[in-house]
Amino acid sequence: MHLIDESRASFVSGSLNTDFPLQNLPYGVFSTSSTGRRIGVAIGDFVLDIAALQATEFAVEAPAHLFAQTTLNALAGEGRGTWTRIRRQLADLLEQGSSFSGSAAANICLVPRASITLHLPFDIGGFTDFYCSEHHASRCSRIIRGSAGGLPPQWQHLPIAYNGRASSVVVSGTPLRRPHGQSLTRDGSSVRWGPTQALDFELELGAFVGPGSALGKPVPLALAGEQIFGYVLLNDWSARDIQRFESAPLGPFQGKAFGTSISAWVVTPDALNYFRSPVEQPAVASYLTFDHGGSATNFDISLSVSLQPKGGTRSIVAKTSPTFMSWSFEQLIAHHTIGGCNLRTGDLIGSGTLSGPKPEQRACLLEMTFDGTQPLLLADGVHRAYLEDFDSVTFTGAGTTKSGQRIGFGSLEGLVLPSFQTEHQ
């Protein structure tokens, strides 16, 4: 079920020409020059300050403590009934012709987005990154292992994942330093220590956990969707040379732990469910099988990556979609908990790199450049094998409704800073 009525419009400026029309209303955490961190929803060129709203006659019906917070954790812990009820109230307030429009309260509570600073929306306790695109997995395996490459034997049976570092998840706009680590030289003859020479991005979608689950109690697939508070764009930065050297037998560590970036606005399922699209799957285990003939679904929305060297022109280098996931987020949650692992409010779940079958749908440089051996041609005649210092990477993502409304995430931006070693030479 989705809650989008395309006939409705907002009185707020820019709401028809941005990623944030009345039909979206994503949550975020922001501050201004005169306020601390606050919870708000994006609408057009503005953000609705819900904490300020709760002090007016237009306050939404919700537990008093939910919006007196500096993160979304308390709200996410309430569950879908509360989320949907609040979203409907906010949409009614922001609709064209409402009593809120033109009121003194609206002038106070609507803050220009150009004047705010955005912050990490959640206190993130755990981060699990999956490996859900068959195109990405099979292509990477061939690049790294040559003719011996192929999908892991478990691929058709379960979603593969590793536990990442929640402590290094940062919000869009936060620069990240080139990490150090150990890796093999290109000819494989020796081990080197130093800054990565193969820094990469990975275009993913992330989901934030809402209520959470009890230790030892798996979440049934039929209820897994109730655990998802909302979605963000996710860049799981990767040091490919470090990752390759360390990964066997336990998987990535330093090659991934230095940073993961997420977009600031959390788009709710009530907005994205409009774009649900079925996923074709083989027969899978019963705990991953939908009842009554149902099927796995993902979102038919457009995602893109652009890359800009320092002082150079920005180039779009990939366009892809979550439809290339072989598993749904509901299945990821069911699998995550089937052994008894609990989920906590604010946990982050990544889709893995969302690559498709076509060259322009390759969502990381490892695939685009065949591990740096076939450099990518950018605007101005610039080439990139992997990311260089002061390169800027931007992700965008949005779905478009039948009437042309864009339901989007804004942008996810990251800048590569030199390593500490390089900076202090």
Within a domain: residue 289?
yes
Domain that holds residue 86: 27-119
Within a domain: residue 191?
yes
Within a domain: residue 8?
no
pLDDT tens per residue across span 302-357: 999 999 999 999 999 999 999 999 999 999 999 999 999 999 999 999 999 999 99
How far is the C-alpha of 207 from the C-alpha of 132, rounded, in Å?
14
Bridge partners, 307 (sequence order): 315, 393
Domain check: are 379 and 414 in the same one?
yes
Domain check: are 392 and 412 in the same one?
yes
Domain check: are 319 and 201 in the same one?
yes
pLDDT tens per residue across span 252-308: 999 999 999 999 999 999 999 999 999 988 889 999 999 876 789 999 999 999 999
Within a domain: residue 247?
yes
Residue of 136, 180, 335, 336 marked catalytic: 136
Within a domain: residue 363?
yes
Within a domain: residue 368?
yes
Residue 91 is part of a domain; what is its CATH number? 2.30.30.230
Domain check: are 268 and 362 in the same one?
yes
Within a domain: residue 150?
yes
Domain check: are 63 and 142 in the same one?
no
Q: Do 313 and 379 touch, CB atoms closer than 8 A?
A: yes
Q: What is the pTM of this model?
A: 0.96
What's the pLDDT band for 3 if we cut at 50, 70, 90?
Answer: low
How many residues are present in the chain?
Answer: 425
Within a domain: residue 20?
no
Domain check: are 37 and 149 in the same one?
no
Domain check: are 115 and 234 in the same one?
no
Structural domain ending residue among the three candidates 100, 119, 138: 119
Domain check: are 47 and 180 in the same one?
no
In the predicted structure, residue 425 carries a pLDDT above the cut 50: no
> CA geometry: angle at 217 spanning 215 and 220, to 5°?
135
- Which pair of structure tokens corresponds to residue 29? 């955490």
Residue 322 is part of a domain; what is its CATH number? 3.90.850.10
pLDDT tens per residue across span 43-69: 999 999 999 999 999 999 999 899 999
39 three-state secondary structure:
strand
Smallest CA-to-CA distance from 225 within 109, 295, 329, 131 is with 329
Domain check: are 186 and 41 in the same one?
no
% the chain with pLDDT above 70:
98
Q: Do 240 and 206 touch, CB atoms closer than 8 A?
A: no
Structural domain ending residue among the three candidates 119, 149, 176: 119
Q: Is 135 a catalytic residue?
A: no
Domain check: are 292 and 172 in the same one?
yes
Structural domain ending residue among the three candidates 87, 119, 151: 119
If one counts the domains in the chain, the total is 2
Domain check: are 149 and 236 in the same one?
yes
Domain check: are 293 and 333 in the same one?
yes
Q: What is the mean pLDDT of residues 366-372?
A: 96
